[in-house]
Structure 1
Amino acid sequence: MTFSKYIYPLLASALFFTSCQEKNKQIASNEPTENNTDALSPYSIKSKKLPASYVNSKQESLEKFYEKNWPNNSMNGGFLVAKNGQIIFEKYEGKSNFSKDEAIDANTPLHIASVSKVLTATAILRLIDREKLHLEDKVNSLLPTFPYDEITIKMLLSHRSGLPNYAYFADDTKVWNRSKMLHNQDILDLLAQHKFGLYFKPDRKFGYCNTNYAILALVIEKITGKNYREAMKEMIFEPLGMKNTFVYDYSKDKETASLSYKGNKVLYELNHLDDVYGDKNIYSTPRDLLKFDMATYSDKFLNPVLVSEAFKGYSYEHRGTKNYGLGIRMLEWETGEQLFYHNGWWHGNTSSYVKLKKDTVALFAISNKYTLKTYKIWKLAPLFGTYPIKLDKDDVIN
């Protein structure tokens, strides 16, 4: 579950098979690869190869940033930075399962926590693009037992519904038996049965809440007639060649999926909330997420009008730089600069996706050993553009 305050891959070149292969931990390439070309077509951006001087200068700064934040191979996850779809820097370290000594590499799916919301929102937008759904549709016109008449699809996407957080009401033993796994349909049923009070009047303000995206997953299922896991595979993962991305299924994946650890490498135990999807429970890799990021620039993947709707703020009740679009967080400055991102946290998994849309830059960090340093990658933005970000004295940016 994410309560973080901070959204949206290409495969290795010959460098993968050089000295870096020895450790299978660090890969850096500025070449589009075979999988990149095949998977992203027709979603790739047509651009010239980045100059070696540009790549080398960025790699040096990125290496310093990485070593400052994750010294002595301490990340336990994956970190990737790309421009125009070309990987500038990436690194993989640690174990997906310490007891089995399973190393994390470029193909290891890790739990991306609330970065999953970016993908869920995109599936909803693709259904809207196909005219199967509309932003202003009332949720209860699609899910008749949903008990709140005023709430729309757009309010769920932008976290303006006022819905209560299912993690809280499902923690009440009078409401839910925590020895049982909670599922998305259970959340809807509990809302219908108890008619919990809203946190605020719908569309009055922003209120980040995982329930919004658990309900959106049910909407996807209702419209497609398929389980969310299969629908996401068909609408997002397969078309973009995201071969190492899947939606977690507790009954099938609990023994094989990457595990989650506390900062001291103690295993995080699973609980009754571990089979809810839409808000979390997608496993992916930085490279797969880069494929997704590149697709967001293509009108062959999503209507540009809908893209513009997604990448704009909907909550201006309070002054400041922070806002939320449709499945994406953002920073907006008076200078006109914008930075888009989404962070995630669930158990020991932390994730961050930063999109510098104007500069066609994407940054990803995913870890399965609890750390807040994952969320610092947004501070790399000034390395690629004129972003008015105040850096701390110990931040390494050249």
Structure 2
Amino acid sequence: MTFVWFMELLKGTGQLFLHPLFYYFLFLAAVLGVSRVKRERRNFHVRAEDAYFELRQLLPIGLLIGLVLSVITILAGLTVPFALIILTAAVTILLSLPARVRLLSPVYTVGIAFFILIFTTGQDLGIPFIGHYFESLEDKIYPSVALLLALLVIGEGLLIKNNGAKGTSPKLVKSKRGQTVGVHEVKRLWMLPMFLLVPGEAIEIHFSWWPLFVVGNQSYSLLLVPFGIGLHQQIQGMLPKEAIRLHGGRVIGLGVLVLAIAIAGYWFPLASIGAVAAAIIGRELIAFGQRVQDEGRPFYFSKQNQGVMILGVIPDSPAAKMALQVGEKVTKVNGVSVNDEKGIYEAIQRNAAHCKLEVIDTNGQIRLIQRALYVGDHHQLGILFVQDEKKWDSSAV
């Protein structure tokens, strides 16, 4: 039996590369990376992370979380209809067309697919090739779909909390008073592949070659299905890492709530509908609440009376090697007090071979940093900050 499961896992893994969403998510992540780099170059004449950053974040941590969730669903004996997988893929592509990556959250893709299933279960839709998948559905599938959604929401929260704050993108915007201020933006797409048990006869009817295995008297297929997790958040009033981790924690809490309601659906069928509705409404409330709270705070990244606030740090630059952090303030360079880009540049030129900084960290503590500047180093320190001029030019030091 162990060998059978091992072979099914290998087959399921191979089928991931046959799923069109796998390649579609690669395309979307590449588009996000290119658009981010173009915007950063408009603002700072230099990009922060390279255009492949979003592609590098797409799969690794999602694969780990997906594996854990897969073990839970398989041990729980959770089965989902093949019709759900078809609908979720179709809804995912449709929701991605407005270029609003946050709509790729499972609460929307799986949630909308769930409500479509409610209206199509047992119906003769007259759709060639796939219509049978809907005609053979029964009401008992609803609790399993709601439970799957709850697990995906928890997985989404974990991804946001543990990976969302990595590589947030600095951005220059205009405040209501017309002043140039800084914000941080994260537009991220993750792929969360999950092994799902699908009743074998649902696929075997049209795909006689599809691999099946038998447990008891029931045959199943084990599919590795890629789910998309999208996040779009702009932060103006807090440190990006704090705001995003708070957001992720709230999403995890929503997932736990939805999970409790979904479990009740095995005894009270209407609870399954309530669980999915709660997921969609709750996710909207979290996004709305975060936006309202953030807009009510003063801009964290604005011109300072003392020092220069670090809006971003270019990877592999001298600033990155000196462990400078977003949100810290550079108050002195080579012993000279600084308040703007010109002051920093002039202070660096006082000693082109060595750089000594006085920095106030995010806890208000003063620390001294010094480092030799070598030939081949980044031509500037690698700090991105909110400049004092009306035009967004030369805002990197």
Q: Which has the larger radius of gyration?
A: 2
TM-score by length of 1: 0.24
Q: Which has the higher strand share?
A: 2
